[in-house]
Amino acid sequence: LGLVEHYAKQGVRVTAINRRVDGSCSTPYPHVSSECLDVRDASAITNLISKMAKAGELPDIFFLNAGINRLDNDPALDLQQFREVLETNLMGVMNFIAPLTELNAWPHRIKVVAISSVTYYIGNPYCLGYYISKKALTETLRMFSSMYAKTNLQFQWVVLGPVPTRIFCTSDNFPK
């Protein structure tokens, strides 16, 4: 939430997308709206963006932080887990980008900010789907950034530094 808070304090209109199924999507920031939905549901996202566009309520920034990981010490590839991670981490962002690119015009600069991962650079054999999804996400946003550079639709990705979680094989080396 640090980035969302940073933008909110500057008065930037932000829509934060949450995967929470419990419906707790409230936010303490006046310029931040929060939507709870399954990012894998393309029609729900299309409906949300269409509703916002018709009401003239498209935010300055869509902040996309939904992501999952499935750590697996089994060398056999679990295709169901792999598919679920790709559907959430990569296709969830694509589900937002597609309806935004279909708008005829953007009333103001709209930025899509997605969280990538340091695993983009270092990988991890125990979370292959996560690594591939974040690598593909980062490269896709890099391409969209070039394609839409001269429009009001902008793309940005944020790569956070290593966080001492189970996702890193070396997480035991982090200071406690």
pLDDT at residue number 173: 41
Q: What tokens appear for 98 in the block?
A: 């597609």
Residue 174 has a pLDDT of 40
Model pTM above 0.85? no
57 three-state secondary structure: coil
Question: Residues 69, 71, 72, CA angle at the centre, nearest 5°?
Answer: 140
- Which pLDDT value is given to residue 21? 61
Strand order in the sheet with 153-158: 32-36, 14-18, 61-64, 110-115, 153-158
Q: Which amino acid is at 168?
A: F
d(CA 144, CA 139): 9
Query: Residue 74: its pLDDT value, please?
Result: 66
**Residues in the chain with pLDDT < 70?**
1, 20-27, 30, 72-75, 162-176
What pLDDT sits at residue 171? 46
pLDDT given at position 5 = 78
